[in-house]
């Protein structure tokens, strides 16, 4: 895992020349947003702070799925395995070792990363749909095992000692930093040579390999990185829920949420998952919390509409439309060019 | 020759000797390469020819590290390639370009090259800085640098395939049928690029069925058959070797004894007639106001450059692409709005480009899958017998898994499967693509046999001479419009054919040079 982190750092160092300026600007802008968000903490009501924490955790979850599924094309159906590992390792470290939330979150991320590296041994032999089914099996197996693991409370679950849980305001700040980290990692990945290689192997593993890309290594790195971010999100969810049973944390819900958010927002784009998390968690689940049936119906309907009419996702679609509006002259010229060629 | 100056900008490179010794590769019980020894000197260009299934692609894949030899050694310079994965082989300077280009379609041309340039030389950043720009210029892709690779035409895809291998730093290039599917000027442009790559000092191993590439690029040809090296010499020596002529070149070098053009049975109403057909995909118009006709039992060729609309015409006939305007009549009955399966029931069969056989199933299963769903068991068995009689080559292969067949056998199977549907018209898309000349000979004999059973054939072909030789009439498409309709004979003149292939857009409605023979009901309303 040390190599994973080190490599991501070198990946940032050898940025795609086209994007060399774009990345610091984007990360800087993100940092400004984060600082403003931190400053806003005192102005927000407890209810909004609560919504904020969960939203940030979902942003991290969606981005983590996005760098694995969207950038490298490895569709994971076992998100729960990493959320659960993060949540449980954090709760166990806090309860049994008496650690505070900060080392607890680091343990959550590290444990999920180790799990990714171990699961990689069988998973990286699989490709495409088989990889997806492999991750699904890993998630189900882990859930079954934790259900029967007496030390961690078995099927009756586990509680974090209430005294060790940070205040809502602190939780909000932690969430903001975690979400910032997830988006920043995606920015750096998306616009680096590292990310370009991921996009290449998503299209054709053999093609990338024939051009000198060590496909297994890149698949492993992105799997571990995504696992670590998912574990971090899992730790955050644990801090907000305090009491939970294995099916809460290892269940299929996480996979479905992450997938829906990324698909609706825009798979493979940087801000798509953020938009997806906002739309699904805030726009539908929170605002319509009193009408759970309606919100489910809307969520399904939205997913169908996106897949049918804007398969690229909301964010890339919006960016494209805005660009077209900003440069009508260019668009018109391009259109007439196409017409002439015909 | 416009590209000549710019092609010269490719930086020289020194390759090393590639030596294969006693390389054997088995797939189960099948020996793909059998005790093969071959040395490619630095800077040499070697052509590898042979029938389909001779082990040519296997040879390249063994060198590139995609496959590992069962025994024997492969060395590049003083390094053994044994057990090296493809990315390590590439980093040593040996690159493979594929028959079917597999670009990263969502990435731009430049990004595609960048992946190649940065993957293999991670440690030497200074050397790669200019590499992408240089390759863009050398491959004449600089105007397309920011275009997504998924939007490229065939020639540019081939250029990109070569460019990626160049950008990866390859000094020895393995080219697996990179010219397949190109014709005319496009083929010339591709050959020019390959020659420029060779002239820069890089060595080449070229597997190719397009004879022009072999004739115009390589100094030395080796011939494989059943995984063994059976001849090695200059192109001239090899071409005059009687054994090679028998197994590979077939009739082409002997001035092609042209099969007697079959006498079509003239009928009042054609089997299929198309009137003013327009079709396309999304905003793209692929066929525009196309009219043509096919008589009962007649063979008709449809020719044209890549992107001319040939495959779209085939799909429009079989019902896989809806008509936007115009009429399609089948035995005087309008079928324009019928779904593909309904047309199949009426007797229109389509053997698509790329064969599309079910490779996990046996030959017999593939054939049975082609029979109509409602056919009784007995009728199905009868039809299977009939097909195996028309295509006797399939009989001994019946129990074999289709994926294990050679390219020619797979094409035979694709024809057989289409025939199972008891068609009156068989539409064959790019039958001979990527097949050895001798195999194409036997396929064409098969087609004549099919026709003798009263089945009409619509042939979409790059291999113009073969298909014109057996056709009763021919059409040439250019950018979705008919630029020639009539007797196949005038098209045997290369200059006239090229003129029809690349007719100026305004000249879409040029009348045929010769009046069409009586049985051809064909006009073009295109143009003006």
Find the Cα–Cα–Cα–Cα dihedral A91, A96, A98, A99, rounded to 10°: -50
* Res B269: pLDDT: 67
Cβ–Cβ gap A209/B95 under 8 Å: no
pLDDT(B509) > 70: no
Residues of A in contact with B114 (CB under 8 A): 16, 193, 196
Check CB contact of B347 with chain A, cutoff 8 Å. Answer: no
Contact between B342 and B373 under an 8 Å Cβ cutoff? The reply is no
As a whole-number percent, the residues of chain B with pLDDT over 70 amount to: 87
Contact between B473 and B456 under an 8 Å Cβ cutoff? The reply is no
Give the gap in angstroms from C-alpha A118 to the nearest C-alpha of chain B: 23
Cβ–Cβ gap A209/B85 under 8 Å: yes
Three-class HEC string of chain A: CHHHHHHHHHHHHCECHHHCCHHHHHHHHHHHHHHHHHHHHHHCCHHHHHHHHHHHHHHHHHHHHHHHHHHCCCCCCCHHHHHHHHHHHHHHHHHHHCCCHHHHHHHHHHHHHHHHHHHHHHHCCCCHHHHHHHHHHHHHHHHHHHHCCHHHCHHHCEECCHHHCCCHHHHHHHHHHHHHHHHHHHHHHHCEHHHHHHHHHHHCHHHHHHCCCCHHHHHHHHHHHHHHHHHHHHHHHHHHHCEECHHHHHCCHHHHHHHHHHHHHCCCCCCHHHHHHHHHHHHHHHCCCCCHHHHHHHHHHHHHHHHHHCCCCHHHHHHHHHHHHHCHHHHHHHHHHHHHHC
Cβ neighbors of B142 (< 8 A, separation 6 or more) are B133, B136
pLDDT tens column, A214-231:
999 999 999 999 999 999
* Res B129: pLDDT: 56
Residue B325's beta-bridge partner residues? B278
A220 or A311: which carries more pLDDT confidence? A220
* Res B137: pLDDT: 87
pLDDT tens column, B101-110:
778 888 999 9
Contact between B223 and B238 under an 8 Å Cβ cutoff? The reply is yes
Check CB contact of B164 with chain A, cutoff 8 Å. Answer: yes
Q: How far apart are CA B482 and CA B475, in angstroms?
A: 7
DSSP state for residue B453 in the 8-state scheme? T
DSSP class per residue in B394-416: GGGGTTSBGGGS-HHHHHHHHHH
Q: How far apart are CA B54 and CA A75, in angstroms?
A: 38
For the domain made up of B4-254, the CATH class stated in words is alpha beta
pLDDT tens column, A126-182:
998 999 999 999 999 999 999 999 898 888 899 998 888 899 999 999 999 999 999
Which of A82-86, A333-337, B10-14, B400-404 is the least confident region?
A333-337
Q: How far apart are CA B347 and CA B375, in angstroms?
A: 14
Cβ–Cβ gap B106/A199 under 8 Å: yes
Q: How far apart are CA B349 and CA B357, in angstroms?
A: 15
Q: Work out the average pLDDT over B224-251.
A: 80
Per-domain residue ranges for chain A? 2-271
Nearest to A210 among B90, B111, B167 (CB): B90
* Res B31: pLDDT: 80
pLDDT tens column, B427-465:
998 888 777 777 888 888 889 989 998 899 999 987 788
Nearest C-alpha neighbor of B222 from the set B39, B71, B53: B39
Cβ neighbors of A17 (< 8 A, separation 6 or more) are none
Q: Work out the average pLDDT over A80-89.
A: 96
Cβ–Cβ gap B120/A210 under 8 Å: no
Mutation target to probe the A interface, by most A beta carbons within 10 A, among B104, B169, B508 is B104
Q: How far apart are CA B155 and CA B193, in angstroms?
A: 11
Please report, for residues A88, B343, B371, B388, the alpha-carbon distance to residue B383 in angstroms, rounded to integers and kept in the order given: 64, 19, 8, 9
Binned at pLDDT 50, 70 and 90, residue B524 comes out as very low
Q: How far apart are CA A337 and CA A321, in angstroms?
A: 19
Q: How far apart are CA B78 and CA B18, in angstroms?
A: 9
Nearest to A211 among B122, B125, B164 (CB): B164
CA Rg, chain A, in Å? 21
Nearest to A212 among B105, B114, B120 (CB): B120
* Res B507: pLDDT: 42
B106: nearest CA partner in chain A: A203
Nearest to A214 among B87, B114, B125 (CB): B87
* Res A110: pLDDT: 97
Residues of B in contact with A13 (CB under 8 A): none
pLDDT tens column, B116-174:
888 765 444 445 556 788 888 888 898 998 888 888 888 899 999 999 999 988 999 99
Check CB contact of B145 with chain A, cutoff 8 Å. Answer: no
Distance of CA B366 to the CA centre of its chain: 22
Q: How far apart are CA B448 and CA A162, in angstroms?
A: 85
* Res A289: pLDDT: 79
Residues of B in contact with A214 (CB under 8 A): 85, 87
Residue entry with tokens 């096919």: B294
Q: Work out the average pLDDT over B408-428.
A: 90
Contact between A230 and A86 under an 8 Å Cβ cutoff? The reply is yes
Give the gap in angstroms from C-alpha B254 to the nearest C-alpha of chain A: 40
Cβ neighbors of A123 (< 8 A, separation 6 or more) are A131, A134, A135, A138, A223
A213: nearest CA partner in chain B: B119
pLDDT tens column, A4-48:
333 333 333 344 555 567 788 888 889 898 888 888 888 889 989
pLDDT(A327) > 90: no
B272-356+429-507 CATH: 3.40.50.300
Q: Work out the average pLDDT over B404-426.
A: 88
Distance of CA B524 to the CA centre of its chain: 28
B295 or A336: which carries more pLDDT confidence? B295
Q: How far apart are CA A54 and CA B238, in angstroms?
A: 73
Q: How far apart are CA A95 and CA A83, in angstroms?
A: 18
Element (H, E) at B439: helix B437-452
A2-271 CATH: 1.10.3470
B358 or B30: which carries more pLDDT confidence? B358
Which of A158-172, A324-338, B263-277, B332-346 is the least confident region?
A324-338
Binned at pLDDT 50, 70 and 90, residue A297 comes out as confident
pLDDT tens column, B300-334:
999 887 778 888 999 999 998 999 999 999 988 89
Give the gap in angstroms from C-alpha A261 to the nearest C-alpha of chain B: 22
Per-domain residue ranges for chain B? 4-254, 272-356+429-507
Find the Cα–Cα–Cα–Cα dihedral B417, B421, B422, B427, rounded to 10°: -70
Cβ–Cβ gap A211/B165 under 8 Å: yes
Please report, for residues A37, A70, A231, A242, A251, the alpha-carbon distance to residue A157 in angstroms, rounded to integers and kept in the order given: 34, 33, 18, 10, 13
A330 or A82: which carries more pLDDT confidence? A82
Q: Work out the average pLDDT over A318-332.
A: 76
CA angle at B353 for the pair B321 and B493, rounded to the nearest 5°:
100
Q: Work out the average pLDDT over B254-258.
A: 42
Cβ–Cβ gap A212/B119 under 8 Å: yes
DSSP state for residue B362 in the 8-state scheme? B
DSSP state for residue B476 in the 8-state scheme? E
Check CB contact of B100 with chain A, cutoff 8 Å. Answer: no
Pairing type for strands B456-460 and B425-429 reads parallel
Distance of CA A160 to the CA centre of its chain: 24
pLDDT(B258) > 60: no
């Amino acid at each position: 895992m040390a190599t994973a982190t080190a490599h991501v750092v070198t990946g940032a160092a050898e940025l795609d020349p086209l994007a060399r300026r774009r990345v610091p600007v984007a990360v800087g802008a993100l940092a400004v947003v984060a600082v403003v968000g931190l400053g806003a903490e005192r102005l927000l009501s407890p209810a909004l702070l609560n919504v904020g924490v969960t939203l940030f955790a979902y942003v991290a979850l969606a981005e983590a799925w996005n760098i694995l599924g969207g950038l490298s094309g490895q569709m994971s159906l076992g998100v729960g395995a990493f959320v659960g590992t993060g949540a449980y390792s954090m709760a166990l470290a806090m309860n049994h070792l008496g650690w505070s939330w900060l080392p607890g979150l680091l343990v959550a991320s590290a444990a999920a990363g180790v799990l990714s590296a171990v699961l990689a041994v069988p998973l990286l032999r699989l490709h495409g749909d088989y990889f997806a089914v492999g991750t699904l099996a890993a998630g189900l197996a882990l859930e079954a095992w934790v259900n029967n693991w007496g030390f961690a409370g078995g099927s009756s679950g586990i509680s974090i000692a209430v005294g060790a849980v940070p205040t809502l305001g602190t939780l909000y700040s932690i969430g903001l930093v975690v979400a910032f980290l997830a988006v920043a990692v995606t920015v750096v990945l998306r616009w680096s040579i590292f990310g370009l290689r991921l996009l290449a192997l998503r299209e054709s593993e053999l093609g990338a390999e024939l051009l000198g890309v060590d496909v297994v290594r890149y698949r492993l790195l992105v799997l571990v990185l995504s696992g670590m971010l998912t574990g971090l999100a899992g730790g955050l969810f644990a801090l907000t829920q305090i009491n939970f049973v294995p099916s809460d944390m290892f269940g299929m819900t996480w996979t479905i949420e992450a997938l829906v958010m990324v698909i609706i927002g825009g798979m493979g784009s940087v801000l798509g998952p953020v938009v997806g998390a906002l739309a699904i968690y805030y726009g539908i689940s929170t605002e319509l919390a009193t009408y759970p049936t309606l919100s489910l119906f809307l969520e399904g309907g939205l997913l169908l509409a996106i897949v049918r009419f804007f398969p690229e996702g909301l964010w890339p679609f919006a960016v494209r439309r805005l660009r077209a509006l900003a440069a009508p002259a260019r668009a018109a010229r391009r259109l007439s060019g196409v017409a002439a060629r015909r | 020759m416009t590209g000549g100056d710019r092609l010269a900008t490719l930086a020289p490179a020194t390759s090393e000797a590639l030596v294969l010794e006693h390389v054997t590769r088995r797939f189960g019980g099948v020996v793909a390469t059998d005790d093969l020894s071959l040395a490619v000197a630095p800077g040499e260009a070697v052509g590898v020819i042979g029938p389909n299934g001779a082990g040519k692609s296997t040879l390249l894949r063994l060198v590139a590290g995609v496959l590992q030899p069962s025994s024997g050694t492969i060395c590049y310079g003083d390094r053994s390639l044994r057990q090296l994965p493809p990315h390590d082989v590439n980093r040593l300077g040996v690159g493979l370009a594929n028959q079917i280009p597999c670009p990263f379609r969502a990435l731009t041309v430049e990004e595609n090259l960048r992946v190649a340039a940065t993957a293999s030389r991670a440690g030497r950043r200074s050397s790669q800085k200019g590499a992408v720009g240089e390759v863009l210029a050398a491959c004449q892709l600089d105007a397309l640098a920011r275009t997504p690779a998924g939007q490229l035409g065939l020639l540019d895809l081939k250029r990109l395939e070569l460019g990626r291998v160049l950008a990866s730093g390859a000094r020895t290039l393995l080219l697996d049928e990179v010219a397949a599917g190109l014709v005319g000027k496009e083929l010339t442009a591709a050959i020019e690029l390959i020659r420029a790559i060779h002239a820069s000092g890089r060595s080449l191993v070229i597997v190719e069925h397009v004879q022009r590439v072999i004739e115009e690029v390589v100094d030395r040809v080796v011939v494989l058959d059943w995984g063994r090296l059976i001849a090695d010499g200059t192109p001239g020596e090899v071409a005059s070797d009687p054994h090679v002529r028998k197994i590979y070149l077939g009739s082409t070098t002997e001035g092609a004894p042209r099969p007697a053009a079959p006498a079509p049975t003239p009928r009042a109403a054609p089997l299929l007639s198309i009137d003013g057909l327009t079709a396309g995909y999304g905003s793209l118009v692929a066929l525009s106001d196309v009219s043509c006709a096919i008589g009962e039992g007649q063979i008709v060729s449809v020719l044209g450059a890549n992107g001319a609309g040939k495959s779209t015409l085939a799909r429009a006939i079989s019902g896989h692409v809806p008509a936007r305007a115009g009429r399609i009549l089948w035995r005087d009955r309008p079928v324009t709005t019928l779904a593909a399966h309904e047309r199949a029931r009426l007797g229109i069969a389509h053997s698509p480009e790329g064969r599309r056989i079910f490779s996990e199933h046996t030959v017999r299963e593939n054939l049975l899958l082609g029979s109509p769903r409602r056919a009784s068991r007995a009728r199905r068995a009868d039809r299977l017998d009939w097909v195996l009689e028309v295509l006797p080559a399939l009989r001994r292969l019946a129990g074999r898994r289709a994926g294990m067949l050679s390219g020619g056998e797979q094409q035979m199977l694709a024809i057989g499967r289409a025939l199972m549907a008891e068609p009156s018209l068989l539409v064959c898309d790019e039958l001979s693509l990527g097949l050895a000349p001798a195999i194409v000979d036997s396929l064409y004999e098969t087609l004549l046999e099919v026709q003798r059973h009263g089945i009409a054939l619509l042939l979409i072909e790059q291999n113009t001479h073969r298909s014109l030789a057996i056709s009763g009439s021919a059409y040439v498409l250019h950018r979705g419009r008919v630029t020639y309709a009539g007797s196949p004979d005038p098209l045997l003149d290369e200059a006239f054919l090229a003129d029809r292939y690349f007719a100026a857009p305004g000249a879409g409605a040029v009348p045929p040079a010769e009046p069409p023979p009586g049985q051809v009901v064909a006009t073009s309303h295109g143009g003006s």
